[in-house]
Amino acid sequence: MDISVIIPIKNRAHLIIETLDSILNQTLLPKEIIIVDDCSTDDLKQVLLPYFDKIILVKSEGHGPGAARNTGLKIATGKAIQFFDSDDVMTPNKLEVQAALLNDNSKAGCVIGPFVSAKKINGNWVQTDVIMQYQPLLPKPLYDIVAEGWCSITQACLFSRTLIDQVGDWREDIMTHEDKEYWFRIALLNPFPIHENKSLTIYRQHEQQVTDKTTQEVERTQNGILVFSDMLNRENGKLSIFSKWVLKGILANYKMYSVKYKLYYPIKRSDYVVRFVAKIYSKLGRLQTGTDWQPIHSVTKDEQVFTSFLRLFNKR
């Protein structure tokens, strides 16, 4: 299967080479790697110079991650789309494992794999959280799971171009929660994606991810309220009663939290009820998994699993 990898980048020249090497070291090489520069001010072009015969470097036609991905999609020619970030890495078997599943399940449209947050310390990967999505997804529609708080990183997944074309463009008017909004649209079209746990995406943690914390939180709160409200308007009766209550509770919590930043959204009496339901659901879920995550995130706490995935890098 021909795969187009789309990588938005902004001031990650010091990290992109390791990301590229993990892609170029795949057992199934992609058809093309499209790097979309979102107004970088570092020496990105110079750093990428040795890779110019292996990549397509273009300027984003807009601003933000959504616009960069849309720019990449306009020129992508693969039958499968791999969205990836400029600071993450994938085990060498990822594209092969997920492409095979897409080939064998042409109507599925999406393969979801595991990912883990980790830091590079003294040249070694150090796990900073449990592995997400290692266990099979819960046996209920993906739109219910998304409504209850689930959101995967798209780096851990592989999508058919047919599905992506049906989903439509990434939103460009929001800088956070754009992945949550995108996943909900995917879920409404494709409620039962394929799951695999033979590959791993490492979601790199580093200092540059946090710049202006207060500004990010204000924007995150505003975008969250916009996205969760939109999800309620889009669900069109598909959500289960419980999932809809949880989603309403998450929205209510964001509205109440916004007061901290002097952002005042209308709050109804019912908001206090659904917020309580969502909080109890979240707390019980964390108790069940023994982690900071709920069962919908399909986590594993087994540290040996991470070690076994790291061995895959050494085999190449």
**Given pLDDT bands bounded at 50, 70 and 90, which one contains residue 316?**
low
Q: Work out the mean pLDDT of the chain and round it to a whole number.
A: 94
pLDDT value at residue 196? 98
Over residues 145-168, the pLDDT tens digits come to: 999 999 999 999 999 999 999 999
Token match 């947050």: residue? 117
Task: Identify the band that residue 105 occupies on the pLDDT scale cut at 50, 70 and 90.
Answer: confident
Amino acid 214: pLDDT: 55
Res. 31: pLDDT tops 60? yes
In which band, very low, low, confident or very high, does the pLDDT at 211 lie, cut at 50, 70 and 90?
A: very low
Residue 213 has pLDDT above 70, yes or no: no
Model confidence at 298: pLDDT above 60: yes
Would you say 161 and 78 are in contact if contact means Cβ atoms under 8 Å apart? Answer: yes
Question: Percent of the chain scored above 70 by pLDDT?
Answer: 97
User: Which domains are seen in the chain, by residue range?
Assistant: 3-210+301-314 (3.90.550.10), 213-295 (no CATH)
CA 42 to the chain's CA centroid: 25
Indicate the helix (H) or strand (E) that contains 256. helix 241-257
Q: What is the 3-state secondary structure (H, E, C) of 36-55?
A: EECCCCCCHHHHHHHHCCCC
For residue 232, pLDDT over 60 is answered with yes
* pTM across the whole model: 0.94
pLDDT in tens, 258-288: 998 888 899 999 999 999 999 999 999 999 9
**SS3 annotation, 166-228:** HHCCCCCCCCCCHHHHHHHHHHHHCCCCEECCCCCEEEECCHHHCCCHHHHHHHHHHHHHHHH
- What would the pLDDT profile of 48-97 be if each residue is shown by its tens digit? 999 999 999 999 999 889 999 999 999 999 999 999 999 999 999 999 99
DSSP 8-state symbol, 31: S
The predicted pLDDT at position 212 comes to: 45
Nearest CA among 60, 5, 18, 10 for reference residue 36 = 60
CA 243 to chain centre: 21
pLDDT at 107 (0 to 100): 81
